[in-house]
Amino acid sequence: MTQNNEKQISSNRTICLLLLICLLCLIPFVNKAFHIDDPTFIGMAKHIQSNPLDYFGYYMQFSPPVITNPPVVAYFIALAGCFFGYSEISLHVAFLIPACAAILGTYLLACDLCAKPFIATLAALCTPVFIVSSTTVMCDVLMLSFWVFSIFYWRRGILEDRRIYLLISSVLIILCIMTKYMGICLVPLLLAYSMLEKRKPGEWILYLLLPIAAIFLFDQITYIKYGLRQLSYIESFSIYNHQTSHKNTLANIVTGLSFLGGCILVHWLYYVIYTKKMYVLLHLAAIIIILMILMRFDVLNYYPIAGADGINWTFVAQLPFFVFAGVSFIFIVFSDFLRNRDSDSLLLFLWVIGTFAFTVFVNWSVNARSILPIAPVAGILVMRHLRQSCKLNLISILGFYAPLILSLLMAMIVASADYSLAKSARTAAHSIHDKIRDWPGKVWLEGHWGFQHYIESAGGVKVLDYENPSLKKGDLVIIPGNNTNTKLLYQHLALFKNEYTFDVAKLVSTTNVSTGAGFYSDLFGPLPFAVGYTPEKYYVYEMIVDKKTRFSY
């Protein structure tokens, strides 16, 4: 047997092991209730199954239509639903495919970029953001699989002058963009990498023009078909949310660092273990002092630092550690680029910094889903950093795997908390529906997400249209306490009837205003997850007058 064959067999075994670990981590969550924006993608997919070319027809039922995601993931769900149905288990099992593909792409890329590709890939797998995101049926992990493979093939195409690889990468970039518009960031990223590697423009640049042409063509088709320009709409949606969030730029940066540190996490554990403890303590102390100064001058005025019971010490204790973890990762990124100053280090540098900048300054909110593309590069950068700062062969097995185990443990705890939160919404929907289904008047619902999906599926409940409400005296309105797009019903409009409480996991929260946890959006809090919890509450009101005019915002 030749050396190349032995190497290939070893690589195949490593890939199989990585995929097995990935499946073992995610299979416990295949019965997770549909959560956050899962129902939106499922609704779009069901519409596509009956009208394959009417990709935004589902959104057009709403007034006004809210279209923030392109259709590739909905087509993927429709394909899975066509063969296996739309149950929680069938769709979550289908989404194991893009999760495994993302891990495979990360490993192939890590083989080219660092000395320990297996450890680097495990590091990506063990991040909280990857584990939690892989338990949803949203667009993020499918986008990530296209993202890593497009970079892998583009890099190979540039280095080996293989046009077929460049073409494959171009197609993958298009699929990435059509899964989530954030994929457009790949174009400037790969352009900068190629310019440094090739030193001059060449035929390769044409392959980067294809994704740009594709997105403008899709935008034009969407305009002709629906009268909406996607790119302009997304821009205005982001600007509106930035203007109404009451956050300043510095607070946004601190939030971004908090999400970066908490979502990735594994790099921080390596950093703490292999950095002089005095430096670690000094860096942490400096960050605490800076945050205290920012709090003193009310720069972080939207943070849940104090509540009705006084200072929220749990939140105050967590924020510096997450920010410290984010800063330490940025330090690793900069040090790798400054030490190597080549096309690969530039690729990794821009990959992280570009994604971070998009998340903080461009995206409609800071959230873990936007941090997700950084996960594959985290382990690669850590392995490159350790190779430079200490000899890899002198690091013990425990030193290699302890941070991975700790990070995976935290990731599984966070994923379990999110699982519990999703389950509570499903339980609440069924329970509340049983209690109000015989109500003589109409029953309306505020909010969205999984609760809306399950209570609407039970029948008899409609989502309240704030622009054109049809509320009559005697109608019921259900308002989830922890949800999006909810509005108060004032005493002159409605009478409070009942409050229903449902328990969730008690250790960690992923979406909870009182703890400052905002995994899916920092509008709920500046931490990706937080220690502590509050039960999920749902409020039922009975209308005492008719309400026909629009709700004030």
Instruction: Encode 199-265 in three state secondary structure.
Output: CCCCCHHHHHHHHHHHHHHHHHHHHHHHCCCHHHHHHHHHHHHHHHCCCCHHHHHHHHHHHHHHHHC
User: Out of 187-196, 226-235, 251-260, which region has the weakest mean confidence (pLDDT)?
Assistant: 226-235
pLDDT band at 513 (very low <50, low <70, confident <90, very high): confident
Whether 256 is in a domain gets the answer no
Cβ atoms of 141 and 97 within 8 Å: the answer is: no
pLDDT digits (tens, 9 = 90+) for 148-174: 999 999 999 999 989 999 999 999 999
Burial tier of 279 (Cβ tally within 10 Å: 0-12, 13-18, 19+)? exposed
pLDDT greater than 60 at residue 241:
no
pLDDT digits (tens, 9 = 90+) for 54-99: 888 777 666 555 667 889 999 999 999 999 999 999 999 999 999 9
Burial tier of 1 (Cβ tally within 10 Å: 0-12, 13-18, 19+)? exposed
Helix (H, G, I), strand (E, B) or coil at 101: helix
pLDDT > 90 fraction of the chain, expressed in percent and rounded: 47
Tell me how far apart the alpha carbons of residues 543 and 421 are, in angstroms, rounded to a whole number. Answer: 29
Residue keyed to tokens 């999906």 = 453
Beta strands in 334-409 (DSSP E): none
Tell me how far apart the alpha carbons of residues 118 and 279 are, in angstroms, rounded to a whole number. Answer: 29
The whole domain housing 528 covers: 418-543
Whether 526 is in a domain gets the answer yes
- 178: which 2 tokens? 């059509």
Counted domains in the chain: 1
Whether 187 is in a domain gets the answer no
Helix (H, G, I), strand (E, B) or coil at 345: helix
**Average pLDDT for 314-336:** 87
Contacts of 286 (CB under 8 A, 6+ apart): none
Residue keyed to tokens 């060449």 = 202
Whether 242 is in a domain gets the answer no
Angle, helices 186-198 vs 343-357, to 10°: value is 160
Q: pLDDT value at position 532?
A: 86
Contacts of 342 (CB under 8 A, 6+ apart): 196
pLDDT digits (tens, 9 = 90+) for 132-154: 999 999 999 999 999 999 999 99
Contacts of 451 (CB under 8 A, 6+ apart): 425, 426, 428, 429, 445, 480, 483, 538
User: Out of 8-12, 20-24, 41-45, which region has the weakest mean confidence (pLDDT)?
Assistant: 8-12
Instruction: Give which of 74, 71, 121 is closest to 95, Cα–Cα.
Output: 74
The total of other beta-carbon atoms located within 10 Å of residue 130's CB is: 30
**Average pLDDT for 195-214:** 90
Tell me how far apart the alpha carbons of residues 545 and 185 are, in angstroms, rounded to a whole number. Answer: 51
Q: pLDDT value at position 67?
A: 65
Tell me how far apart the alpha carbons of residues 155 and 149 are, in angstroms, rounded to a whole number. Answer: 10
CA 504 to chain centre: 21
Whether 443 is in a domain gets the answer yes
Whether 125 is in a domain gets the answer no
pLDDT greater than 70 at residue 292:
no
Instruction: Give which of 58, 4, 6, 69 is closest to 36, Cα–Cα.
Output: 69
Whether 437 is in a domain gets the answer yes
pTM for this prediction: 0.90
pLDDT band at 509 (very low <50, low <70, confident <90, very high): very high
pLDDT digits (tens, 9 = 90+) for 328-368: 899 889 988 999 889 999 999 999 999 999 999 888 889 99
Q: pLDDT value at position 9?
A: 65
Q: What φ, ψ does residue 153 adopt, rounded to 5°? A: -70, -35
Tell me how far apart the alpha carbons of residues 493 and 471 are, in angstroms, rounded to a whole number. Answer: 10
- 96: which 2 tokens? 């194991």
Tell me how far apart the alpha carbons of residues 258 and 127 are, in angstroms, rounded to a whole number. Answer: 14
Q: How many residues in the chain? A: 553
Tell me how far apart the alpha carbons of residues 207 and 203 are, in angstroms, rounded to a whole number. Answer: 8
Tell me how far apart the alpha carbons of residues 384 and 403 are, in angstroms, rounded to a whole number. Answer: 16
pLDDT digits (tens, 9 = 90+) for 97-132: 999 999 999 999 999 998 889 999 999 999 999 999
Tell me how far apart the alpha carbons of residues 376 and 102 are, in angstroms, rounded to a whole number. Answer: 8
Tell me how far apart the alpha carbons of residues 311 and 314 are, in angstroms, rounded to a whole number. Answer: 9
Whether 310 is in a domain gets the answer no
Cβ atoms of 320 and 328 within 8 Å: the answer is: no
Q: pLDDT value at position 42?
A: 93
pLDDT greater than 70 at residue 243:
no
**Average pLDDT for 35-55:** 90
Beta strands in 236-367 (DSSP E): 306-307, 310-311
Tell me how far apart the alpha carbons of residues 510 and 494 are, in angstroms, rounded to a whole number. Answer: 31
pLDDT greater than 60 at residue 527:
yes
State how beta strands 476-480 and 443-445 pair: parallel
pLDDT digits (tens, 9 = 90+) for 397-454: 666 788 889 999 999 999 999 999 999 999 999 999 988 888 888 888 888 898 999 9
pLDDT greater than 50 at residue 553:
no
Cβ atoms of 71 and 178 within 8 Å: the answer is: yes
